[in-house]
Homo-oligomer: A and B are copies of this chain.
């Protein structure tokens, strides 16, 4: 049973160590990646924004069409 506990302690030490080392490395890697990206694409506009714009226009279009139909209806009354 002594053996079981010592196996557990070993597992805990290595495990927690790996988790910390990994996430520390990930911090470095992430900062490095972000620095690279910001260096080479400083003012890149995200496609999400572009899409949002399109959608807004579609909604506007819809509103215009609705308005037209409403007007048409009112004229026919």
Residues of A within 8 A of B (CB): 59-60, 62-67, 69-70, 73-74
Contacts and interface: CB of A to CB of B under 8 A. Distances in A.
Contact of A69 (B63, B69, B73, B74): B63
Copies in the complex: 3
19 contacts: A59-B69, A60-B69, A60-B73, A62-B66, A63-B65, A63-B66, A63-B69, A63-B70, A63-B73, A64-B69, A64-B70, A64-B73, A66-B66, A66-B67, A66-B70, A67-B70, A67-B73, A67-B74, A70-B70
Nearest to A62: B66
A48 to B, nearest CB: 21
Nearest to A70: B67
